[in-house]
Structure 1
Amino acid sequence: MDLFDDPLPPLDDAELRLLSPWLSPQEADDWLARLLAETPWEQPTVHLHGRDFPVPRRTAWYGDPDARYRYSGLTHEPLSWTPLLAEIRARVEAVAGQAFNGVLLNHYRDGNDSMGWHSDDEAVLGRNPVIASLNLGGTRRFDLRRRGTTRIGHSLPLSHGSLLVMSGPTQHHWQHQVAKTRAHCAPRLNLTFRLLTYPGERP
């Protein structure tokens, strides 16, 4: 397990790297402000048990022209890379040692916005995907639990300007979430870079 300034203890069957901070405060502030202003945010709905529910956050998917991404029953057509996102992608690729052809942006407006338990294990991401997660804005707790269990195995704060890279067998053995919280939270933006190994095909 290769860690930098990482508060995580060694986790079996996980490869995690956390750079915190990765960006200077000034650069992180600039990227946050520009992305919040420039992104055409959407709040899609998912159909569960005969009812439609809005996703509890705002989202946007950017990528190469054929990088269609399907998850949670939703198919996302890619928006074209902006100059800023292309710059961020190149910087993240240099650290992750991995090319990426898409990025999912999630905007958590306050503590009511969340992401449920899941693994990034869609077939289109390949056997051992590298997932690079850039965090801007308010700090939120990132929980990890071993698949097949209900107990949180570890939590860490993802702060302004930090970069978390998950790789190797992590997605096979671990799930993660960003839970709702009653604590005051500043708006948070998360950029999750991925490589779709079969762009355009639906898993």
Structure 2
Amino acid sequence: MPTVLLPLPDADITLYPSLLDESECAFFLTELTQTIEWRQDWITIYGRSLPQPRLTAWYGDPGKSYTYSGITMNPRLWTPTLLNLKAKVDALAGVAFNSVLLNLYRDGNDSMGWHSDDEPELGLNPMIGSLSLGGTRRFMLRHRFEKGLKHELELTSGSFLLMQGKTQHYWQHQIPKTRRPVSPRINLTFRVIY
């Protein structure tokens, strides 16, 4: 399988452009859209309470809860579809992920702001496996300390991005809003909760 190692300092990020083929992507996108128990949480930004600009869900092993931005998510049990996808990414990453955060971007107005996946329960050097299904979206990276260091790429349907090592210590990432028409997208970020 072709891979692209991103040429970024202080990072270990590998892109697998085609983990899934077109028919697999269409199947999994439909299946997850219809069967996942999606929710919309509220977050506080500069003292204002606002709905998150996307739908989310948290699945995983029992007891593997996750807290970010003041939101605690308790895992729903793995579905057969999620276990199928987990087996594919586990084999590629060489690790047994025990949880997954799903994000449903309904259109270009849905987004994810700048952040690092560096919560304590993810361990010292988190491994994050990010699988994209559906509409192509821009994935932007910026170095936390070297302000001129930036990078972006298009995450297409079926692509898998593996971030590991010290990446989360030095880099932030986001999925910005877009005005161009874009199909719904589901992103699954597989994680190990300690």
User: TM-score over 0.5 for the alignment?
Assistant: yes
What residue is the counterpart of 1:5 in the other structure?
3
Q: Give me the whole-angstrom Cα distance separating, in 2, the residues matched to 1:17 and 1:153.
A: 16
Unaligned runs of 5+ in 1: 198-203
- Any idea what the Cα deviations from partners look like across 1:129-181, whole Å, max 9, x if unmatched? 11000000000000000003555611000000000000011000000000011
1:179 is aligned to: 176
1:201 corresponds in structure 2 to none
**Does residue 57 of the first structure (1) align with residue 47 of the second (2)?**
no
Corresponding position: 1:164 with 2:152:
no
Partner amino acid, structure 2, of 1:106: N
Structure 2 counterparts to residues 145-156 of structure 1, below 5 A: 145-148=142-145, 153-156=150-153
Query: In structure 2, how many angstroms separate the alpha carbons of the residues matched to 1:149 and 1:43?
Result: 34
Matches of 1:70 and 1:149 in 2, distance apart? 28
Please state whether the residue corresponding to 2:4 is helix, strand or coil: coil
- How far the C-alpha of 1:50 sits from its partner, in A, is 3.5
- Secondary structure of the 1:196 match is coil
1:127 is paired with a residue whose SS is coil
Measure how far apart 1:86 and its partner are: 1.0
In 2, the alpha carbon distance for the partners of 1:50 and 1:157 equals 33
Q: Which residue of 2 aligns with 1:200?
A: none
Partner residue in 2 for 1:84? 81
Structure 2 Cα separation of the partners of residues 155 and 42 of structure 1: 28
1:70-109 aligned within 5 A:
70-109=67-106
Q: Confirm whether residue 19 of structure 1 aligns to residue 16 of structure 2.
A: yes
Structure 2: unaligned runs, 5 residues or longer: none
Cα 1:35–1:104 change in 2 (3 A) is same
Measure, in 1, the Cα distance between the counterparts of 2:103 and 2:149: 22
How many residues are matched? Answer: 194
Please state how far the C-alpha of 1:24 moved relative to its aligned partner. Answer: 1.1
Task: Report the Cα offset of residue 98 of structure 1.
Answer: 1.1
Q: Aligned AA for 1:30?
A: F
Question: How far has the Cα of 1:40 moved from its partner?
Answer: 1.3
For the Cα contact (< 8 Å) 2:5–2:14, is it kept in 1?
Answer: no
- The answer to whether the aligner puts 1:46 opposite 2:38 as a matched pair is no
For the structure 1 residues 190 and 172, does the alpha-carbon distance in structure 2 shift closer, same or farther, using more than 3 Å as the test?
same
4+ runs of 1 displaced by more than 4 Å? 149-152
Q: Are 1:123 and 2:98 counterparts?
A: no
Query: Residue 46 of structure 1: CA displacement?
Result: 1.1
Q: CA RMSD in A?
A: 1.5
